[in-house]
Each structure stands twice: as structure tokens, then as C-alpha cells.
Structure 1
Amino acid sequence: MNRLTKSPTYPKTSYMTSVGVLSSSPGYKIYEQLNAMSAYMNSLSPVPSGLQKDNEKAEEGERVFTKAGCISCHSGAFATSNKLIPLEELKTNGSRAKGFSPLKDYHDVPKVYEEGTPVPLPENPKVNVIKTTPEQEQLLQLAWGFSNTKGAYKTISLYNLSRSAPYLHDGGVAVGPNGEVGVTETILQGKLPDPYHSLKAMVDSRLREIVIESNATNKSLFSANVTGEGHSFWVDETTGFSKSEQDALIHYLLTLTD
């Protein structure tokens, strides 16, 4: 699926597309390939962590997860509330919202082609307007950084954390297996971040400070807004948790889907 088709709002953008086009190849119906790809992705299951799960430690980690308040956002069957967290609360880099905010001058109400419309598009394809509720509109404007908001990030699922290091929206929280700190000492040196130690940097305030300091030494990372800042929700001595509780939490998170 490597062909693009004009969206109903082209050349304007909408909540359906930030670039005014959508993926669809000639010979297919509009959205057919996108829907097929979505169905495939929905059929995927988490892969095993490859770790030896300690059930007792995992249960302790789950208790820490709840006590620390992680469950308030990372809840439900897929460990996500699917809610948008404002930057003021998440305290992370706002470059994404800043990048989207100028689009409000080129924005249109969201529209879709009528189901079954062929590609290439006919001369005058039928278009339906998607109506949003005031609540939905408020959330969408928050997410896109419109109406003088600073933007937001959606709570991600905690599935497959054993396979998805480095962490945070910018991939800036990275620690190597031998203590290499930051993207500067891991990825930029051809070394894969270690899931356990990188997750520890997500919840340990002191280690995160070191990661952020390391990232800040590289001008390219600064230009790309890869800092490792934000999500300052600690599970360490500053919030009353012991090293063993922190260790149990990390074990629970890494083996969550085993």
C-alpha cells in the first residue's frame, strides 16, 4: 500500500488526515486497504517476554502498580485508559502539538468518501461529513494543540514492554545492559537499550536525571526533541517505595502479557 489518494478535504487537512491525503491503491475501494491493515493489526497478539516469570514477584509488582497510581491511566484489558493527558500534567516535550497547531488555519471539518467509492476516484465522489460532539471537539482540539492549548499525548498500552525499549513518546529513555546511559551511549553507539534498565529510568527520578543530562550533550538529539523528559511519575524512595518494590514493578511490567 504505497499509493496516495486525495482526501475529501484536500488540499486542506482535517482530524482524519494531517496531510490532506490518504493511502489507497488503484483497483481497490476507498479505505479497503486501510481497513484490511487495521484488521490485521487488531489480530496480532503480544509475544512472550522471554523472561522467567516469577509469579510472586509479579503479584507484588501489580500491587505496587496500583499503589503508585499507575493504574489510573494504564488500566483495563489493554493497560490503557485511551485518554488524552494534557502536557501540563504529563510535563513532556510539546513539540508535537506545536508542530500541528499552525494547521488550524488550513483545517476543515472531517469528511469521508461514501463507502464503496472506487480508486481512482470518480469525478464527483459522494462525501459524508463526520459530526463531532462538543466533548469530542474539545478533546480533538486538545490533541492537535488548537485553541491555545499546549497539546496532549494519548495513554499508550503497556503491552510488550520487553520488546519496545527505548521508552517515552520521544524514545529518549534508554539505558544499556551495562549501564550505558541515554540515547547517546546506546542507540547512537549501535547498542540496543535494555528493557529492564530503561524501565527503571522511567520510574526512578535520579536515574532519569542522568539520562536527560546525557541526551542533552548531543545537539542532534536536541534538534529532534529527543530529551527523555516528562512522565515524572516516580516509583522510588522519593515517593516512599523501596528498591525491592521498584524491582517487582519492573518485573510485573515486563511479563505483563506472558
Structure 2
Amino acid sequence: MKTEEGRAILSSQNGAIKVDDALLQLGKKAFYDETFGNEVFITDIVGAFDGPITLANVKKAIEELKGEGTDNLLVELDKTVTIGGHTFKKGSKVETGLDVAKDTNEVMGMPIKYSSGKVRAGITCLACHATVDRTTKKIIEGAPNSNLNAGLFIAFASNSAAYFTHTDIMSLQKYIKDLGRTVETTDGKKEPLPDIQALEEAVDRNALLWPRGNFDSTIDMASNPSQIPPSFTQGNFPYGWSGHAMAGPFKGLSTFNNNVHAQNSDSLTQSEVSRELFGIDKEVYIGTILQNAADPKFRYTPDKGKKPSAFFAAVDPTPGTPGVNQVILPSSFPKATLVAPDGLIVSSPGSKVNEQNNAMSAWQNTLIPPNPPIASDAAVIKTGREVFRKAQCIACHSGDYLTNNLIVSSGRIKTDPSRALALKKTEKIWGEATIYSPDTPVPVLRGAKILKVPTEHLDPEQIKLGFAHGDSKGGYKTPALNGLYWTAPYLHDGGVAIGPDEKKQLGTAGTLMKGIQPDPYNSLKGLVDKNLREKNVTANRSAGLEQVHVQGIGHEYWVDSSTGFTKQQQDALIKYLLSINH
């Protein structure tokens, strides 16, 4: 009887997920290849390749490599554009940060698809959460793409305004010029759409400020791009810089993986809650995103004689769900929950509910950072470990993965607080965390089994911090210290970045924004050395990066002369930190 009860508890009907070779193989394939259909939003709506960067020129740039590979594809511009006071001339080459592995002829994580007589490109997890080793040009799975120029791609898109909620467009009212260009709202009133050009220019100008290797993964109408996190995920829960992904399969990792395609690669997915989250009526929200769509099929104009939602429903490739990506509506929809903060779950037709997210989670947990290509002296490493304890780093960075797995309030850690507040408005649409059993086929049929996601073990105060609910100002999770050599720059905003020349290459402004990769050793020194950090912060502020909340402030735990440590002890600590690899 006990055996039968055990089997019942571990059945997929009760939420258990079998981790075997088949799941791991599916996880790697999904990580490399799965777009969940986002090529429609990226190509047909955003127009990522209708501006000065074209797919033809991307292909040309790859061919010019002749199989050598690169971690920073140089692409020739197809036209001259002026954005935010900067002129980019036709024929010049820009650093995209796109990776091409040696002996391949395609961009990592950017599959090209052909359908309905059109070429489209989408993105997969590989584009951001893997990179090419600058020496060997081989793929390092799990390492963040620290120079991906996502802001440039958005700014160059023909309809970058589709990403307006990721930038500092605090209100659309500022961009309304023609009161006659109106749509009928959900309550039967008339509201004008913002001016296409004015909104586009504002989004472009802001996106150009995003540092390379950063992306704004929250749609809170505030520009707070954070560093692309690594996918060395084992033991690094809760997930997300604010730690909001704390519930559901794989200690919240599937919830975190879900965010990319349930929200970040398709702004339309949040149309049903746009009033609550942004103070924008659904019709105005959809109309704003589609009014300058790259493909005329998706382009909305008020003279269509339809509400934006009705127009979109007629061209939606995934009818019955918001947006164009492949998602399912959990029973809690449109509520935000601990297991679906976006309100949706990405799952492709023919798969099982959440199957691809779960598979990617299982596979990511197997990733181990490569050994750093630096010499290590056992005696120095031992001294560094002792300094780590003496300096009380162990107070937060403890356990097997050097994390206490807790969220620390932004007031205590004192890093830029903007990102910690990004999910605050989800409190308005908060619901109980439920999900269909993992053996449920997609599309989901009526009567599918619904499971309550266990959350009783979670500390309510940690939940408040992760989402900035109630009187909380939010916080940031204590990250594991695994593979630090591969994850420079540091802090959630990537603001602690120092190049090989620590006197001249200071801050994000003096490194990534100039095409210089942060040096792991010097950047870690900037994290623990008070004098060097002050110079780092000054450099960021002098470049105006406060506008996008990239400063490199906070985490003021110094290991230098101000706290009684010698240069030799500081050096040993840094070398110990760079050696951590498990």
C-alpha cells in the first residue's frame, strides 16, 4: 500500500516531473531552438530587421567570418539613420554582440524561419544565456552574452515603440498630438493614440542608453535594464534578480524561464491587464503596439473601422490567447500568480503544459562553468577562502553554492532600487497559484486537471520582497558565486565593470559602451575596493547611465585598507572568487 501511495504522489497527475535523458535532451533542444513563435512579434510587428540592420546583411557578416566564429558580429548598416542625436551611416559596421560559433553559419539563438513567403527571425534562450569563448570560439553554455547589444536592436527596429513599456515612457499622454486619431475603448469611450513618430523617437533614444549585455525584462514603464543572468542555475534559487521566481517546478526556475516568452518577446501578451499594470485601456494598448507594425498585415489604423482588439483577432496566428506567441491560459488567467507572474504559460501545440520550460530547467541545472583559463596557486586560493570568511562574506554567501537563497531588501543592499519595484503593480491582479498537471496536452481541453501549486513553505516576507508588495520596496536575491570568471560585469545592473586598464577603463561607460570587455579580476576588485568603486560609479554617472538605473552602487562590503585588509589579502580573495567552479 505504501508503495502504491508513493507512486501516486510521484505521478505526473499530482505534479511530479520525471527527470531522465529524454527530458534533458528536450531541454537542450528547447534552449537552443525554441522560439515559441516569437519571430512573428520580432519580425512582423517590431520590425527588428526592417531598419538599418537587415537579415541579408546579417547573413553577409556571417559569410565574411569564413567559419572563424565571433562573440561580436559586425554588421554593415543598410541605411543611414539618426537616433537620439547620433547618426549611424549606411555602410558602417556596428557591434551587435551576436555570437557565431566556429565552423557554423548561423547566429546562436536566432533561428531563421520561412513561412507564407517571408523570412523571419526569432530568438531562443541561447541568444542571451550562452556565449562564444573569445579564444576558442566554442560555445559556453550557461554563460551570459555580456556584450549583446539588445538596446541597439530595439532602437534600430522600425517599430521599436512596441517595446514602450520596457522604457521610461511613464505615460502615453505626453505623446498625443492628434486628438482625432481615436479608438473606442473597452467601456465605449474614445481615446486618442499617441503620435507614432514622437513615441518611436522616445523609445529609440532610451533604448540606445542600455548597456551591452543588459535587457529590461520587466514591463513597468520604467527603464531599468539588468544584466543578463547566467544559466548556471543549480542551487541558485530563487530566480530572477529580485528573486520573484520562487515557486513552481525546479524551485521556481521554470517560472523564470517562462517569463522570457510569456512577456519579454511579445508585449501583446499583457493586453488583458494593461489597465491594471499601466493605466492604459486594452484597446489603446493594442493600438499603440500595432499602429506602426512592420508588416501591413498587423498594422492598425483608426480608420480600419474596428476596435484594435477586433482587428488583431482577425490576424492573430494564435487565436484565443493574447499576443502572438504560443501560450496557454492557466486557470488563474488573467491573474498574476507566484507560478505565472505574467499570467500565462508558454507551451507549444503538441507538447505538454510547461513541458519545454521544465525540460530547460532540468537541463540548465546540469550546466557547470568551464574552468577559468587562469593560473591558480593553491596557497593563494586557501588564503582567499580565509579572507572570504574573515570579511564575513560567508554571512550571505554560504552553503554549497555560496548563497543563503534569500532576497535582501533594496534598502539594505543599497543597489539601484528601480528594478526591485518593477513587479509592484501585480498586487492589483494577484491570484492563487495553480497550474494544469504536467501531463496535460496542449492545446488544453476543457476539464483538464488543475493543481494547486505548493506555496505554504515560502516565507510571506520573502514574497513581499520579491514582488515589492504591500509596504515593501522590494529587494534582490543573494546570487550564487559560481563561474564568476564568465559572468563579469557584476551586480544586478552590471554596473561594476572595469577593463584591463583599471585606471582608464572605468564603469560600463568605459568598457562595454566602448566595445571593451570587462576584466573579471579588475571588475571584482571594483566590487570590493571602495576607492576603485567610487571611480567606477562616477564614470557611469558622467555618461548619464542614471537615466536607465545603471550605476554600480550598493553592496558596500569592502575588503581593502578601509576595513583592515592588505592588498595581498584582497588579491587572494579575488583569485579565490574566480576559482569557484562547481
Looking at structure 2, the residues matched to 4 and 115 of structure 1 have their Cα atoms a distance apart, in angstroms, of 15
**Superposed CA offset, 1:130-168 (max 9, x none):** 353385222111211001111111111111111110000
Report whether the alignment pairs 1:43 with 2:366.
yes
For 1:112, what is the secondary structure of its paired residue? strand
- What one-letter code is carried by the residue in structure 2 that aligns with 1:188? M
Alignment identity in percent?
39
For 2:510, the aligned partner's letter is E
Deviates more, 1:129-138 or 1:4-13: 129-138
Map of 1:194 onto structure 2: 519
Aligned to 1:232: 556
Residue 532 of structure 2 is matched in structure 1 by: 207
Letter in 1 for 2:358: N
Show the counterpart of 1:254. 578
Alignment of 1:159 with 2:482, yes or no, is yes
Q: Confirm or deny: 8 A CA contact 2:420 2:476 kept in the other structure.
A: no
Equivalent residue number for residue 148 of structure 1: 471
State the structure with more CA Rg.
2
Is 1:244 matched up with 2:568?
yes
> Aligned partners of 1:212 and 1:129: how far apart in 2?
45
Q: Which residue pairs with 1:95 in the alignment?
A: 418
> Is 1:25–2:351 an aligned residue pair?
no
- 1:90-126 CA distances to partner (integer Å, 9 max, x unpaired)? 1111112322111100111211112311111113433
Q: Distance in 2 between matches of 1:232 and 1:17?
A: 33
Give the structure, 1 or 2, with the largest relative contact order (CA under 8 Å, sep 6 or more): 1
2:436 is matched with which residue: 109, 113, 117? 113
What is the number of equivalent residue pairs in this alignment? 257
More displaced 10-residue stretch of structure 1: 234-243 or 116-125: 116-125
- Aligned partner of 2:357 in structure 1 is 34
Letter in 1 for 2:347: S
> Which shifted more, 116-125 or 69-78?
116-125
Contact 2:560–2:567 (8 Å) recurs in 1: yes
Which one is further off, 200-209 or 23-32? 23-32
1:80 and 2:424 matched: no
Query: How much does 1:216 deviate?
Result: 0.7
- Structure 1, unaligned runs of 5 or more: none
Output the CA distance in 2 between the equivalents of 1:216 and 1:18: 32
Amino acid at match of 2:468: G
In structure 2, the CA distance between the partners of 1:79 and 1:134, relative to structure 1 (3 Å rule), is closer
Tell me the CA shift for residue 253 of structure 1.
0.5
Instruction: Find the counterpart in structure 1 of residue 111 from structure 2.
Output: none
Instruction: Please name the residue that 2:507 is paired with.
Output: 182
TM-score (norm 1): 0.95
- Aligned-residue RMSD, C-alpha: 1.5
2:334 — aligned with what?
Answer: 11
Alpha-carbon distance in 2 for matches of 1:134, 1:39: 22
**C-alpha contact 2:406 2:462 (8 A) present in aligned 1:** no
Counterpart for residue 57 of structure 1: 380
Structure 2 residues without counterparts, runs of 5 or longer: 1-33, 37-325
The Cα shift of 1:129 comes to: 2.3
Cα deviation, residue 80, structure 1: 1.2
Structure 1 range deviating more: 134-143 or 96-105:
134-143
Q: How far apart, in 2, do the equivalents of 1:54 and 1:257 lie?
A: 15
- Secondary structure (helix, strand or coil) at the match of 1:43 reads coil
